[in-house]
Chain A
Amino acid sequence: QQQVKQSPQSLIVQKGGISIINCAYENTAFDYFPWYQQFPGKGPALLIAIRPDVSEKKEGRFTISFNKSAKQFSLHIMDSQPGDSATYFCAASMVGDFPGNQFYFGTGTSLTVIP
Chain B
Amino acid sequence: DVKVTQSSRYLVKRTGEKVFLECVQDMDHENMFWYRQDPGLGLRLIYFSYDVKMKEKGDIPEGYSVSREKKERFSLILESASTNQTSMYLCASRSTEPTTNEKLFFGSGTQLSVL
Contacts and interface: CB of A to CB of B under 8 A. Distances in A.
B74 interface: no
A44 B48 contact: no
Interface stretch (B38-46, B63-71, B78-86): B38-46
A43 B107 contact: yes
Nearest to B9: A41
A46 B94 CA distance: 12
B108 A42 contact: yes
Interface of B is mostly: strand
Interface in B83-115: 90, 92, 96, 98, 101-104, 106-109
A6 interface: yes
Interface residues of B, number: 28
Q: What are the 5 closest A-B residue pairs judged by CB atoms, nearest first? A: A43-B106, A107-B42, A105-B43, A97-B96, A105-B42
22 contacts: A41-B108, A41-B109, A42-B108, A42-B109, A43-B90, A44-B43, A44-B106, A45-B106, A97-B30, A97-B96, A99-B50, A99-B54, A99-B56, A100-B56, A102-B45, A103-B104, A105-B43, A105-B44, A106-B42, A107-B42, A108-B42, A108-B43
